Amino acid sequence: MNLPELLQQHFNYPPLVKIDPNTQEVTDKDKAVAGEFGQAAIPVILAGLYEFTRSDEGADNVISGEVSPSWVKTIFGDQSQQIIKRVADYANTTYDITENKLNDIAAKSVELIKEAAGPDPKNIAVKELMGGQVNNILPYLPAVLQAGELLNDTTLDDKTNKMEGPISSLMQAIGSGFSGSDKDEKLVN
């Protein structure tokens, strides 16, 4: 399953364009101009959900999947307004339209995650599912949004997460291992 691709198709946005790890900008400006909103919105929501579901509480919240008109606020908390503003600025859309569309994308994302986690999902299944999606999400996340900074996880904005190949995959796996165990420890204490 590739969540960014499923969301792009569901909302009928133009295909997402990968971010060049060297310039930190989209690799094909012509394609990206047509899909600036989807290019920003889909990866930022999924990156937020990735961070959100790393805690038991967040994963349980996704499992319950109660329809929330304000998923963006639930996922990003105090940073929700800043996320909405950055996506609106990137895509040149209004704040209100951006907020509504981000909430729609988040609601559909939660629905897809619940479906993929199975009929009787446990929070560990959601955590593993989202952990497995990181390599599908981060290559499309525009660095200019600085989502990692807002989510207190700068590895999300790191250039190595936009690279592909066996060495960068190994580096990403090592980084995920360290950052995942650290977050779980903080929750236990």
Please state, in angstroms and as integers, the Cα–Cα distance from residue 15 to each residue in 6, 54, 132, following that order.
10, 27, 21
Listed ranges 7-16, 65-74, 139-148, 162-171; the one with the highest mean pLDDT: 7-16
Average pLDDT, the chain: 80
Report the share of the chain in percent with pLDDT over 90.
51
Confidence bin at 181 (pLDDT 50/70/90)? very low
Please state, in angstroms and as integers, the Cα–Cα distance from residue 181 to each residue in 57, 125, 164, 175, 185, following that order.
16, 16, 24, 10, 6
Instruction: Supply angle C-alpha 140, 142, 144, rounded to 5.
Output: 170
Instruction: Supply angle C-alpha 78, 61, 126, rounded to 5.
Output: 110
The whole-angstrom separation of Cα 31 and Cα 38 is: 11
Residue located via tokens 């996506």: 87
pLDDT (tens digit, 9 = 90+) per residue, 111-138?
999 999 888 888 899 999 999 999 999 9
Q: What is the structure's pLDDT at 119?
A: 82
Residue located via tokens 């805690």: 55
Is 90 exceeded by the pLDDT of residue 145? no
Q: What is the structure's pLDDT at 33?
A: 46
pLDDT (tens digit, 9 = 90+) per residue, 21-63?
666 566 555 444 446 899 999 999 999 999 999 999 999 999 9
Answer for the pair 130, 50: CB distance below 8 angstroms, yes or no: yes
| Residue 19 Rama label (left phi>0; alpha psi -120 to 50; beta) | beta
Q: Which amino acid is at 124?
A: I
pLDDT (tens digit, 9 = 90+) per residue, 99-110?
999 999 999 999
Mean pLDDT of 165-186: 48
| 3-class SS of residue 19 | strand
